[in-house]
Amino acid sequence: MTAAKRYLALDLGAESGRGALGIFDGRKLTLEEVHRFANGPVRVLDHIYWDALGLFANLKQALADAAARGPVHSIGIDTWGVDFALLAKDGSLLGNPVHYRDSRTDGVMEQVFAVVPRERIFELTGIQFIQLNTLFQLYAMARSRSPLLDAADKLLMMPSLFNFFLTGRKVEEFTAASTSQLLDPRDGTWVKPLFDVLGLPYRIVPEVVRPGQKIGTVRADIAEETCCGPIPVAAVGCHDTASAVAAVPAQGRSWCYISCGTWSLMGIEAPRPIINAKTLAFNFTNEGGVGNTIRFLKNIMGLWLVQECKRQWAKEGQDLSYGEITSIAASAKPLQRFVDCNDAVFLAPGGMPSRIAEFCRRTGQRAPADRGEAVRCALESLALTYRKALGVLEEVSGGRIDVVHVVGGGTQNRLLCQFAANACNRPVVAGPVEATAIGNVLMQAVTLGDLKSTADLREVVRNSFSPIRYEPQGTAAWDDAYGRFLKVCS
């Protein structure tokens, strides 16, 4: 490279979004945040939606702000998985995309299994069963005879919707599509027999493209509006976890990752899907990764419980910072009570402290007496859930995992990182915090030919960012706690 390249990562999470400008000199990467904005559910009548047009307006603002600082050589978009938009033939948006925490999928999994056994669905897709998956959202629409399905010409997952708004091209990116439970992860094709037997319209699924391909060029009207020029739009790991995993600064093979935020995605990088009776029983998933890999992982409810506690307390008049919340948790007595982070009772927003207390009472434990005890319970339970997932990963992969890499915003919670090291009895290497934006940016570099492979990408991450290492402490107490955890969270 003769001059530094400037790549814009448009990164949308469940709480916020931002534009991050990556400046790459051929060896090291620096990030500059150019625009940050809030994101979250919008309740209208009986349903919860995403504000897709408001989000796109903010993405354009991020592009304009980046272009005002200098030339932008490419753009990449990543978002959460499973949610989607429906488009008419002329490209019009058919309604607001529904939020994955909406109640329309309550009870739908059992309805689907009455038509297609869960074993058959897993054999076809390799995806774990959670009621928020695209498959169950679509079936809920079909069961309610939604007129939107009849009017739809194309379905686009959320990152692909914004890529379409930017370029005018209706294609689906592999890593995002793989979260739908409608794609065969072996060859990246849609599973038509599943659509047919469930009465879902197969005509609405678009062509699938792989990470590292160019999707298109920014439309002329947007280029004029944002003063950015005809910039290429790259297919990065458009599912945010795929971009985050790309930026794990690991070497060798004996490691696993936790992409830690609202959700914790814990897994290994595999050369092919791991689809068998054992992985079905453990409810693990096979999602698409960059560099022709599979992210074999477990979805864990993550820091959602803490986020929702914070939100509830703010509604009650005490708006604590995350630093304050972590501090009071650190002062609470350790390893007193546990919750199953993935229990369905914790899925919907609202009233999280009461839900934690009720789970404890229901399982014969003393409910938290204060905020510190509630948050400590959530964090310790999350760390012990990591330990449980680690055991499955080692059993399925047939080898010991020597180090746990934690990336993403959750690495800023040092208490959780230390708990994870203690619970797993493994060193935890935490960082980079901005893994999703970093992976997004560097996959753009791969698309433009400035990097050749994922290995090159990870070398840049190691050159550019310094992680924090946590060694296990007090493991005997955590071993004892794990036995008690399993009794209430089996």
Q: Which residue has the tokens 């600064």?
A: 249
In a domain, 436, yes or no: no
User: Is 3:24 a contact under the CB 8 Å cutoff?
Assistant: no
Q: How many CB atoms lie within 10 A of CB 90?
A: 6
In a domain, 147, yes or no: yes
In a domain, 445, yes or no: no
Q: Which residue has the tokens 């400035």?
A: 450
pLDDT digits 0-9 by tens, 440-482 = 999 999 999 999 999 999 999 999 999 999 999 999 999 999 9
In a domain, 438, yes or no: no
What does the buried/exposed string (b/e) look like for 323-340 if buried means 16 or more CB atoms within 10 Å of the residue's CB? Answer: eebbebbeebeebbbbbb
- For residues 203 and 300, state if they share a domain: no
pLDDT given at position 102 = 95
pLDDT given at position 2 = 60
- For residues 393 and 474, state if they share a domain: yes
In a domain, 240, yes or no: no
**DSSP code per residue over 416-469:** HHHHHHHHHTS-EEE--TTHHHHHHHHHHHHHTTS--SHHHHHHHHHHH---EE
- For residues 35 and 139, state if they share a domain: yes
Q: What share of the chain is helix, strand, coil (3-state, %, to 5)?
A: 45, 20, 35
Evaluated on CA atoms 468, 289, 215, 55, the torsion sign reads: negative
- For residues 255 and 284, state if they share a domain: yes
pLDDT given at position 435 = 97
User: Is 340:359 a contact under the CB 8 Å cutoff?
Assistant: yes
Distance, CA of 218 to CA of 215 (rounded, Å): 10
pLDDT given at position 467 = 96
- For residues 220 and 325, state if they share a domain: no
> Domain range holding 424?
248-431+452-490
Tokens of 136: 């169950």
User: Is 307:262 a contact under the CB 8 Å cutoff?
Assistant: yes
pLDDT given at position 15 = 85
- For residues 214 and 289, state if they share a domain: no
Which of 259, 240, 239, 237 has the alpha carbon at shortest distance from 248?
A: 259
Evaluated on CA atoms 408, 442, 228, 79, the torsion sign reads: negative
Residue 214 has pLDDT above 60, yes or no: yes
pLDDT digits 0-9 by tens, 229-256 = 999 999 999 999 999 999 999 988 899 9
Residue 33 has pLDDT above 70, yes or no: yes
In a domain, 437, yes or no: no
In a domain, 419, yes or no: yes
- For residues 408 and 275, state if they share a domain: yes
pLDDT given at position 40 = 87
Which of 89, 428, 456, 126 has the alpha carbon at shortest distance from 277?
A: 126
Question: To 10 degrees, what angle do helices 371-397 and 414-424 make?
Answer: 50
pLDDT given at position 14 = 85
- For residues 28 and 138, state if they share a domain: yes
Indicate the DSSP class of residue 180. G
- pTM of structure: 0.93
Boundary-marking domain end, from 183, 200, 234:
234
Q: How many CB atoms lie within 10 A of CB 468?
A: 13
Characterise 431 by phi-psi region: left (phi > 0), alpha (psi -120 to 50), beta (else). Answer: left
Boundary-marking domain end, from 174, 208, 234:
234
Give 216's contacts (C-beta < 8 A, 6+ positions apart): 163, 166, 167, 168, 169, 232, 233
For residue 363, give the 3-state DSSP assignment.
coil
pLDDT given at position 252 = 86
Mean pLDDT of the chain: 96
Distance, CA of 236 to CA of 391 (rounded, Å): 31
The total number of structural domains in the chain stands at 2
Tokens of 155: 């379905």
Question: To 10 degrees, what angle do helices 304-315 and 322-331 make?
Answer: 110
Backbone φ, ψ for residue 204 (5° rounding) = -85, -10
Tokens of 71: 């030339």
Residue 174 has pLDDT above 60, yes or no: yes
Range list of β-strands (E), 39-100:
42-44, 47-49, 74-78, 84-87
Band the pLDDT of 1: cuts 50, 70, 90.
low
Q: Is 240 a catalytic residue?
A: yes
Residue 490 has pLDDT above 80, yes or no: no
- For residues 84 and 124, state if they share a domain: yes
Distance, CA of 313 to CA of 117 (rounded, Å): 42
- For residues 218 and 254, state if they share a domain: no
Tokens of 161: 């919707």
Mean pLDDT of 323-331: 97
- For residues 315 and 228, state if they share a domain: no
Distance, CA of 84 to CA of 180 (rounded, Å): 9
What stretch of H or E contains 410?
A: none
Mean pLDDT check: name the lowest of 2-16, 89-103, 132-146, 367-381: 2-16
From 240, 340, 402, 456, active-site residue: 240
Mean pLDDT of 121-130: 97
Which of 188, 181, 225 has the alpha carbon at shortest distance from 64?
A: 225
Residue 210 has pLDDT above 70, yes or no: yes
- For residues 184 and 252, state if they share a domain: no
Distance, CA of 90 to CA of 292 (rounded, Å): 33
Distance, CA of 234 to CA of 22 (rounded, Å): 14
User: Is 49:97 a contact under the CB 8 Å cutoff?
Assistant: yes
For residue 189, give the 3-state DSSP assignment.
strand
Residue 92 has pLDDT above 90, yes or no: yes
Mean pLDDT of 356-360: 98
Distance, CA of 110 to CA of 116 (rounded, Å): 10
In a domain, 169, yes or no: yes
Boundary-marking domain end, from 234, 261, 277:
234
Domain containing residue 347: CATH number = 3.30.420.40
